Amino acid sequence: RKNLTERNAETWCAPRRSTSKPSPDDQIKRLRLMFESVEQFLRSPDYDKDLQGELSAACPNYMNVFLTAKRDLLRNDYGVVVTGDNLAGTSTLLNQLVRKKLFARHSIPCTKVTIIRIRDSEKMEIKCYSKDDTLIKEEEVQNFKTLRSIIRELDNISEIPGYLRNMYSVDVFLPVPILKVKYNKKTV
């Protein structure tokens, strides 16, 4: 029994009844293990072909839907929506939030309608998605200068490469202290 438990330590199991409430970090860890176990099952060569056929018939891109749900549920940051007309100061506000001059301030309208999500992260990277939430570009960067350069390229309609023309949203990952999740132990 001990060997079986050690071998399956990273497999999700239904939680046992307990009088103490798990911490938010423990809840996220359990959720991550559950998703990884299901994903491992779905990618397994032993995966039942009949079930795979049923899932494909019901939802042809079920794996993308599953992975998107996994990503969204495991994300533990806050969302802030910033919207405005051209020259309304949205880039200036975003620069103030991230405490860096990342987003260009333009005197003429040059941006296409793209959803930009700023995510708090220790590493800096950019991920671009199509409307069906398919990842079409992913790039990790080492400094703010490079990050700013990539954002400016994505921001300018005339310079966007062909493969990014159907870009719908962009996630910008960088350290943003104001977006860090802080748990209040009394409310959790």
Q: Please check whether residues 29 and 108 belong to one and the same domain.
A: no
User: Looking at residue 87, what DSSP letter applies?
Assistant: T
* pLDDT per position as a tens digit, 140-187: 999 989 998 888 877 766 667 777 777 888 888 888 877 765 544 444
Q: What is the overall mean pLDDT for the chain?
A: 76
In this model, does residue 111 exceed pLDDT 60?
A: no
In this model, does residue 31 exceed pLDDT 80?
A: yes
E runs forming strands in 91-143? 115-120, 124-130, 135-141
- Stretch 57-65: mean pLDDT, rounded? 87
CA-CA distance, 155 to 111, in Å (whole number)? 5
Q: Answer yes or no: is 36 within a domain.
A: yes
Q: Please check whether residues 104 and 175 belong to one and the same domain.
A: yes
Q: Answer yes or no: is 123 within a domain.
A: yes
Q: What is the pLDDT, as a whole number, of residue 184?
A: 45
Q: Please check whether residues 164 and 111 belong to one and the same domain.
A: yes
Q: Give whole-number Cα distances, 128 to 51, 135, 168, in Å.
A: 32, 6, 8
Q: Answer yes or no: is 1 within a domain.
A: no
Range of the structural domain that residue 68 is part of: 23-74
Q: Poorest-confidence range of 68-72, 79-83, 108-112, 136-140?
A: 108-112
Q: Poorest-confidence range of 1-10, 31-40, 63-72, 170-179?
A: 1-10
Q: Answer yes or no: is 121 within a domain.
A: yes
Dihedral angle computed from the Cα positions of residues 187, 172, 155 and 146, in that order, rounded to the nearest 10 degrees:
140
Q: Please check whether residues 103 and 175 belong to one and the same domain.
A: yes
Number of folded domains that form the chain: 2
How many C-beta neighbours within 10 Å does residue 74 have? Answer: 12
Q: Please check whether residues 121 and 173 belong to one and the same domain.
A: yes
Q: Please check whether residues 103 and 151 belong to one and the same domain.
A: yes
Q: Please check whether residues 63 and 123 belong to one and the same domain.
A: no
CA-CA distance, 188 to 23, in Å (whole number)? 8
Q: How far apart are the two ends of the chain, measured CA to CA in Å?
A: 35
Strands 167-174 and 115-120: parallel
Q: Answer yes or no: is 4 within a domain.
A: no
Q: Please check whether residues 174 and 100 belong to one and the same domain.
A: yes
- 3-class DSSP string for 15-76: CCCCCCCCCHHHHHHHHHHHHHHHHHHHHCCCCCHHHHHHHHHHCCCHHHHHHHHHHHHHCC
Q: Please check whether residues 98 and 66 belong to one and the same domain.
A: no
Q: What is the pLDDT, as a whole number, of residue 76?
A: 61
Q: Please check whether residues 107 and 165 belong to one and the same domain.
A: yes
Q: Poorest-confidence range of 3-7, 60-64, 159-163?
A: 3-7
Domain boundary residue, one of 12, 41, 74: 74
Q: With bands split at pLDDT 50, 70 and 90, how would you rate the model's confidence at 32?
A: confident
Q: Answer yes or no: is 81 within a domain.
A: no
* pLDDT per position as a tens digit, 88-99: 788 888 888 888
Q: What is the pLDDT, as a whole number, of residue 79?
A: 62
Domain boundary residue, one of 43, 74, 105: 74
**Six token digits for residue 188:** 């959790």
CA-CA distance, 124 to 21, in Å (whole number)? 34
Q: Answer yes or no: is 8 within a domain.
A: no
Q: What is the pLDDT, as a whole number, of residue 142?
A: 92
pTM: 0.56
Q: For the sheet containing 135-141, what is the strand order? A: 115-120, 167-174, 124-130, 135-141
Q: Answer yes or no: is 47 within a domain.
A: yes
